[in-house]
């Protein structure tokens, strides 16, 4: 092959495999033939312009022949083969200039190409990194959504509250709404129904809340919360709670079943900026009040009430430690015989006291109820029973006669407990108190419907020789049948029966009838709450056997009651004794 | 894979990428220093690597042109990498205008780069997906939009299967990818091997372990298994430079130094 086609073939062979270009051999031949024509044209031109070589160099690179070897071999082929292919009449300096120009064009194109490629790969890396970061953020957002939303209703959950509060304005309201007895729905109709009911309830609340621009959250299984932003006062939050309870009170229809529902709400409204947990806690406390007040209603959180609740709770929680440290003690209020001449102390009622290390001396009304609620009344009652027996066993009269009996109150759980008599027997045994000197006061409430245990306990106590007295008789649920059949020894008339100073004739008749009833059944009748001589006289006239009250003496410490019992008998009648009680009342 | 679909892909520019090193071996500049460092170390161990890469790339192009000659107008190129010079869609469209190509790669940078190149190119798309999840590739929106599985498809698995260790069942992946291809479709596979690189084998294996995608070179019989159930076209599974060469090859003293087995097979039916 000779002439230009021969040069093109040699060029093609030189370029083969020195660089990668995606050209088929025919494509390559076409490309190189075109470039060779341009080179030949330049060399033969009347006015020589070496720039033609430059553009051939750039086109070579553009076609993919960008490797250094491609340039080297191209230059060699050009120098050695091109002049010959053109007939040998080409000036050497033109060839040299053309070759230099081609090399310059080639190098410049490779440079440009590298810069472009570097830029594009950097851009790709940036894009990829951006994309990875965006995906990371999206997945974070998705996780955040999962964490802050309830999957069943799609509502924000407790974890979302902090974020919502941050944008809620100067004052916020929170209505914590709890479906009443929802567990019952799930248990009886199945959890599927429960879920649909929750969804339906959520839909109603959502519609209600959306109208006011407020936010609905699902705090817990059957608990929703409405967050009100920028409230003007508690009235706003209360109105919302009221409306929420109203929309939930409309019967629901789930799976063709009508499911009636009520809800309770705890409402709190306060300046924004507090801890979200604190806000929820306040709403929960108010919700607890609403539940305790019979459900189906709302209650507004109130700091004072909450503080009182908290104080009660703290006190209740301190009872076990108080028991361990012996902080519970007894005072004794004298029981005085109304019959006979002298104001004879026949007994004393033990009254529980708590020497609280911080609160000071607390009366029974401050902690007996708490102990009952906390389930601590039995250990406390047992402790006080033993203490009373122990102290009463030490009483001595001046003349060596039988000392007065001690009245000890038993709480209903103690009376219901099997084996009460056995416990009492052990205590009497340990303390040495004769059984007949122990009078146990039980409320008539415990006797409304005496259980087998109660009956067994009372009979066993009777057999033991311990006396049982019904306290607060005449105020509540007196079961006359019980009075007749149970082994009882006395009744204590409620203070209300002692009545006002100027009692009506009918009251006097009623009192007389009750006393007569007691006597008919062979029971001792005690009147408590006697504060004046007039009351004392009236009770004596009515036939009461024993009196108790400030008029006869305030509660005394165990030392002082022991001293009073040990003191020589007063010479005066009980009606004259009243003056001396004031000083002993402390 | 346990990774939920919304969990982000990692992008690690501190480790060399085979896709970018391959671009370097082909003479491209779409790579970073970290890639070039590694690519030069491999070159020191295997001086022929540039030529191997070029030969492999040339096989891909010949295979595409062959498929176009057989009437194939749509291609699925898995493991497409950094498409430097001579992308499949350019080759195919030059041979048959209107040809469509879906590129698939797992390297986020390669995918982002392909997107730049394919901007304004309606006949081609790139998706980021893992060969290990063939169904994700086949059901991808772009795949569905561009490829018609009622008509022959050219499945290109060039220099990619050696990135899948046996434990991940690469044969199962190929079976799954081939399953939806109608009769008359073609499958091109090129696969790295150490069969004729005995001296370099250890160093190659060690160097491959440093990249984001370690390499499993397979002996001939194992590469041939990828074509099970398919009809290999002439000349069968051969060294890449020997597959339907367009001009005599003078670059390798012996063809085995090309380091790649290559073959094209037809989906029967």
Query: Strand pairing partners for A331?
Result: A351, A557
CA distance A373 to A366: 12
Q: Is the pLDDT of residue B178 over 90?
A: yes
Res A500: pLDDT: 64
**Contact at 8 Å (CB) between B238 and B190?**
no
CB atoms within 10 A of CB A84: 13
Task: Please name the member of A64, A117, A135 whose beta carbon is closest to the beta carbon of B86.
Answer: A64
Chain B nearest C-alpha distance from A160 (Å): 22
Chain B nearest C-alpha distance from A161 (Å): 26
pLDDT digits (tens, 9 = 90+) for B97-120: 999 999 999 988 999 999 999 998
Q: Which residues of B touch A17 (CB under 8 A)?
A: 51, 54, 249-251
User: What is the mean pLDDT of the segment spanning B198-203?
Assistant: 75
Q: Is the pLDDT of residue A575 over 80?
A: no
Q: What is the rounded average pLDDT for all residues in chain B? A: 88
Helix (H, G, I), strand (E, B) or coil at A440: strand
Res A573: pLDDT: 47
Residue located via tokens 């019952």: A184
CB-CB under 8 Å, A132 with B9: yes
Query: Measured on CA atoms in the order B141, B146, B150, B155, is the torsion positive or negative?
Result: negative
Residue of A nearest to B95 (CA): A24
CB-CB under 8 Å, B116 with A123: yes
Q: Which residues of A touch B30 (CB under 8 A)?
A: 117-118, 120-121, 124
Span A312-579 CATH architecture: Alpha-Beta Barrel (3.20)
Helix (H, G, I), strand (E, B) or coil at A549: coil
Residue located via tokens 């047992």: A382
Residue B4 binned pLDDT confidence (cut-offs 50, 70, 90):
very low
Which of A86-95, A173-182, A185-194 has the weakest average pLDDT?
Answer: A185-194
Could you tell me if A348 lies within 8 Å of chain B, comparing CB atoms?
A: no
Chain B nearest C-alpha distance from A73 (Å): 15
Joined tokens for residue A189: 């109709």
* Nearby residues of B148 by Cβ (< 8 Å), 6 or more positions away: B74
**B235 upstream amide cis, omega within 30 of 0:** yes
User: Which has the closest alpha carbon to B17: B135, B108, B143, B141?
Assistant: B108
**The pairing of beta strand A438-443 with beta strand A524-527:** unpaired
pLDDT digits (tens, 9 = 90+) for A137-175: 888 888 888 888 888 888 998 888 888 888 778 889 999
Joined tokens for residue B189: 């596979």
* Nearby residues of B210 by Cβ (< 8 Å), 6 or more positions away: B15, B16, B38
Chain B nearest C-alpha distance from A27 (Å): 11
CB-CB under 8 Å, B13 with A129: yes
Distances (CA, A) of A110 to A23, A170, A470: 18, 66, 114
pLDDT digits (tens, 9 = 90+) for A237-287: 999 999 999 999 998 888 888 888 889 999 999 988 888 888 899 999 999
Q: Is the pLDDT of residue A29 over 90?
A: yes
Listing DSSP states for chain B in one string gives --S-TTSPPP--TTS--HHHHHHHHTT-----HHHHHHHHHHHHH-TTHHHHHHHHHHHHHHHHHHHHHTT--EEEEET--S--SS-HHHHHHHHSTT-EEEEEES-HHHHHHHHHHHTT-TTEEEEE--TT-HHHHHT-HHHHHH--TTS--EEEEES-GGGS-GGG-HHHHHHHHHTTPPTT-EEEEEEE--TT-TTTHHHHHHHHTTSSS------HHHHHGGGTTSEEPTT-SEEGGGSS-SS---S-SSGGGG-EEEEEEE---
Q: Is the pLDDT of residue A326 over 50?
A: yes
3-class secondary structure for A108-173?
HHHHHHHHHHHHHHHHHHHHHHHHHHHHHHHHHHHHHHHHHECCCCCCEEHHHHHHHHHCCCCEEE
Domains defined for chain B, CATH in brackets: 47-200+221-266 (3.40.50.150)
Res B143: pLDDT: 94
Res A447: pLDDT: 74
Q: Is the pLDDT of residue A474 over 80?
A: no
Could you tell me if A325 lies within 8 Å of chain B, comparing CB atoms?
A: no
Res A359: pLDDT: 86
CB atoms within 10 A of CB A386: 19
Residue of B nearest to A114 (CA): B29
Residue of B nearest to A61 (CA): B85
Res B10: pLDDT: 60
Phi, psi of B266 (to 5 degrees): -105, 140
Listing DSSP states for A219-274 in one string gives EETTEEEEEEES-SSHHHHHHHHHHHHHHHHSPEEETTEEE---EEEEEEEEES-S
Could you tell me if A32 lies within 8 Å of chain B, comparing CB atoms?
A: no
Res A464: pLDDT: 92
CA distance A100 to A53: 8
Give the Cα-Cα-Cα angle A49, A53, A56 (nearest 5 degrees): 135
pLDDT digits (tens, 9 = 90+) for A230-239: 888 888 999 9
CA distance A548 to A581: 12
**Contact at 8 Å (CB) between B219 and B195?**
yes
Q: What is the rounded average pLDDT for all residues in chain A? A: 86
pLDDT digits (tens, 9 = 90+) for A60-84: 999 989 988 899 999 999 988 888 8
Res A560: pLDDT: 92
Chain A contact probe: residue of B4, B8, B47 with most A CBs at under 10 A: B8
Residue A211 binned pLDDT confidence (cut-offs 50, 70, 90):
confident
pLDDT digits (tens, 9 = 90+) for A91-145: 888 999 999 999 999 999 999 999 999 999 999 999 998 988 888 888 888 888 8
Res A581: pLDDT: 41
pLDDT digits (tens, 9 = 90+) for A391-404: 999 999 988 889 99
**The pairing of beta strand A263-271 with beta strand A524-527:** unpaired
Res B250: pLDDT: 66
| DSSP classification of residue A574 | G
pLDDT digits (tens, 9 = 90+) for B65-95: 999 999 999 999 999 988 676 789 999 999 9
CA distance A53 to A38: 8
Chain B nearest C-alpha distance from A24 (Å): 7
CA distance B25 to B19: 10
* Nearby residues of A298 by Cβ (< 8 Å), 6 or more positions away: A175, A238, A241, A242, A245, A264, A265, A266, A267, A286, A290
CA distance A277 to B57: 65
CA distance B121 to B102: 11
CA distance B170 to B176: 10
Distances (CA, A) of A78 to A14, A66, A101: 11, 17, 12
Q: Is the pLDDT of residue B196 over 90?
A: no
Residue B7 binned pLDDT confidence (cut-offs 50, 70, 90):
very low
Task: Please name the member of B32, B53, B108 whose beta carbon is closest to the beta carbon of A128.
Answer: B108
Q: Is the pLDDT of residue B229 over 70?
A: yes
Residue A510 binned pLDDT confidence (cut-offs 50, 70, 90):
confident
- Which element (helix H / strand E) includes A353? strand A345-356
Residue located via tokens 């028991």: A323
* Residue A360 CA, distance from chain mean position: 32
CB-CB under 8 Å, A132 with B108: yes
Query: Strand pairing partners for A171?
Result: A271
Res A444: pLDDT: 78
Residue burial A12-33, b: 16+ Cβ < 10 Å; e: rest:
bebbbbbbbbbbbeeebbebbb
CA distance A316 to A367: 7
CB-CB under 8 Å, B86 with A128: no
Q: Is the pLDDT of residue A372 over 90?
A: no
Provide ipTM, 2 decimals.
Answer: 0.84
pLDDT digits (tens, 9 = 90+) for B152-170: 999 999 999 998 999 999 9
pLDDT digits (tens, 9 = 90+) for A435-455: 999 999 998 777 777 788 888
Res A268: pLDDT: 93
* Nearby residues of A317 by Cβ (< 8 Å), 6 or more positions away: A374
Joined tokens for residue B74: 């749509």
Task: Please name the member of B8, B112, B247 whose beta carbon is closest to the beta carbon of A16.
Answer: B247
Residue of B nearest to A112 (CA): B29
CB-CB under 8 Å, B82 with A20: no
Q: Is the pLDDT of residue A483 over 80?
A: no
Residue located via tokens 């001296």: B199
CB-hemisphere CA count at 13 Å for A98? 29
CB-CB under 8 Å, A17 with B51: yes
Residue of A nearest to B19 (CA): A121
Chain A nearest C-alpha distance from B180 (Å): 30
Q: Is the pLDDT of residue B5 over 60?
A: no
Could you tell me if A30 lies within 8 Å of chain B, comparing CB atoms?
A: no
CB-CB under 8 Å, A117 with B247: no
Query: Strand pairing partners for A223?
Result: A178, A220
Max distance between CA atoms of chain B, in angstroms, equals: 50
Fold of A158-301: Alpha-Beta Plaits (3.30.70)
Residue B8 binned pLDDT confidence (cut-offs 50, 70, 90):
very low
* Residue A264 CA, distance from chain mean position: 16
């Amino acid at each position: 092959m000779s002439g230009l086609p021969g040069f093109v073939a040699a060029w093609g062979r030189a370029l083969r495999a020195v660089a990668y270009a995606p050209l088929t051999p025919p494509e390559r031949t076409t490309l190189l033939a075109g470039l060779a024509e341009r080179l030949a044209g330049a060399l033969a031109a009347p006015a020589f312009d070496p720039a033609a070589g430059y553009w051939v160099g750039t086109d070579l690179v553009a076609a993919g022949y960008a490797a250094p070897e491609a340039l080297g071999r191209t230059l060699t082929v050009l120098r050695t083969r091109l002049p010959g292919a053109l007939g040998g009449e080409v000036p050497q300096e033109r060839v040299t200039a053309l070759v230099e120009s081609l090399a310059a064009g080639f190098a410049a194109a490779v440079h440009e190409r590298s810069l472009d490629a570097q830029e594009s790969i950097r851009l790709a890396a940036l894009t990829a990194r951006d994309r990875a970061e965006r995906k990371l953020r999206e997945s974070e957002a998705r996780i955040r959504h999962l964490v802050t939303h309830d999957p069943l209703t799609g509502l924000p959950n407790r974890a979302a509250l902090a974020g919502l509060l941050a944008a809620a304005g100067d004052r916020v309201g929170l209505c914590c709404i709890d479906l009443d007895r929802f567990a019952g729905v799930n248990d009886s109709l199945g959890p599927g129904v429960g879920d649909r009911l929750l969804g339906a309830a959520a839909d109603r609340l959502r519609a209600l809340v959306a109208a006011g621009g407020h936010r609905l959250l699902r705090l817990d299984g059957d608990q929703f919360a409405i967050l009100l932003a920028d409230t003007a006062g508690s009235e706003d939050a209360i109105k919302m709670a009221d409306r929420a309870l109203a929309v939930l009170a409309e019967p629901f229809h789930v799976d063709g079943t009508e499911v009636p529902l009520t809800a309770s709400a705890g409402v709190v409204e306060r300046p924004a900026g507090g801890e979200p947990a604190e806000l929820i806690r306040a709403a929960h406390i108010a919700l607890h009040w609403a539940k305790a007040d019979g459900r189906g209603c709302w209650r507004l959180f109130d700091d004072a009430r909450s503080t009182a609740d908290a104080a009660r709770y703290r006190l209740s929680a301190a009872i076990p430690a108080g028991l361990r440290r012996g902080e519970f003690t007894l005072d004794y209020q004298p029981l005085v015989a109304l019959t006979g001449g002298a104001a004879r102390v026949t007994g004393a009622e033990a009254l529980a006291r708590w020497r609280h290390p911080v609160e000071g001396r607390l009366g029974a009304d401050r902690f007996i109820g708490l102990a009952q609620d906390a389930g601590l009344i039995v250990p406390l009652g047992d402790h006080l029973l033993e203490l009373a027996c122990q102290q009463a066993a030490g009483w001595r009269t001046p003349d060596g006669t039988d000392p007065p009996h001690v009245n000890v109150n038993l709480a209903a759980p103690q009376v219901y407990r099997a084996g009460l008599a056995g416990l009492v027997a052990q205590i009497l045994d340990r303390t040495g108190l004769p059984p007949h000197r122990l009078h146990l006061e039980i409320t008539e409430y415990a006797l409304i419907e005496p259980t087998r245990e109660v009956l067994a306990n009372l009979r066993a106590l009777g057999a033991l020789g311990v006396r049982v007295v019904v306290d607060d008789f005449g105020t509540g649920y007196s079961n006359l049948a019980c009075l007749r059949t149970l082994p009882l020894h006395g009744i204590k008339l409620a203070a209300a029966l002692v009545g006002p100073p100027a009692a009506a004739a009918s009251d006097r008749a009623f009192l007389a009838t009750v006393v007569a009833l007691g006597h008919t059944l062979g029971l001792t009748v005690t009147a408590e709450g006697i504060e004046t001589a007039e009351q004392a006289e009236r009770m004596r006239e009515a036939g009461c056997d024993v009196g108790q009250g400030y008029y006869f003496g305030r509660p005394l410490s165990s030392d002082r009651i022991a001293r009073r019992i040990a003191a020589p008998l007063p010479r005066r009648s009980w009606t004259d004794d009243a003056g001396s009680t004031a000083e002993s009342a402390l | 894979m346990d990774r939920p679909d919304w969990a982000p892909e990692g992008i690690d520019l501190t480790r060399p990428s085979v896709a970018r090193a391959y671009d370097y071996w082909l003479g491209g500049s779409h790579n970073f220093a970290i890639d070039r460092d590694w690519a030069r170390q491999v070159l020191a161990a295997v001086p022929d690597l540039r030529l191997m890469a070029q030969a492999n790339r040339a096989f891909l192009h010949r295979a595409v042109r062959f498929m176009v000659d057989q009437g194939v107008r749509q291609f699925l190129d898995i493991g497409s990498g950094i498409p430097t010079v001579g992308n499949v869609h350019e080759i195919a469209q030059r041979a048959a205008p209107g040809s469509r190509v879906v590129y698939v790669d797992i390297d986020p940078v390669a995918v982002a780069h392909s997107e730049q190149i394919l901007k304004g190119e309606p006949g081609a798309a790139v998706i980021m997906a893992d060969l290990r999840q063939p169904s994700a590739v086949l059901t991808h929106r772009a795949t569905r939009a561009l490829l018609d599985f009622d008509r022959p498809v050219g499945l290109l698995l060039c220099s990619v299967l050696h990135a899948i260790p046996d434990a991940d069942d690469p044969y199962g992946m190929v079976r799954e990818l081939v399953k939806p291809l109608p009769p008359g479709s073609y499958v091109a596979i090129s696969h790295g091997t150490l069969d004729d690189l005995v001296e370099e084998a250890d160093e190659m294996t060690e160097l491959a372990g440093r990249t984001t995608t370690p390499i499993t070179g397979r002996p001939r019989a194992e590469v041939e298994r990828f074509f099970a159930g398919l009809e290999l076209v002439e000349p069968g599974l051969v060294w890449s430079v020997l597959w339907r060469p367009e001009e005599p090859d003078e670059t390798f003293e012996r063809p085995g130094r090309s380091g790649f087995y290559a073959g094209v097979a037809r989906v029967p039916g």
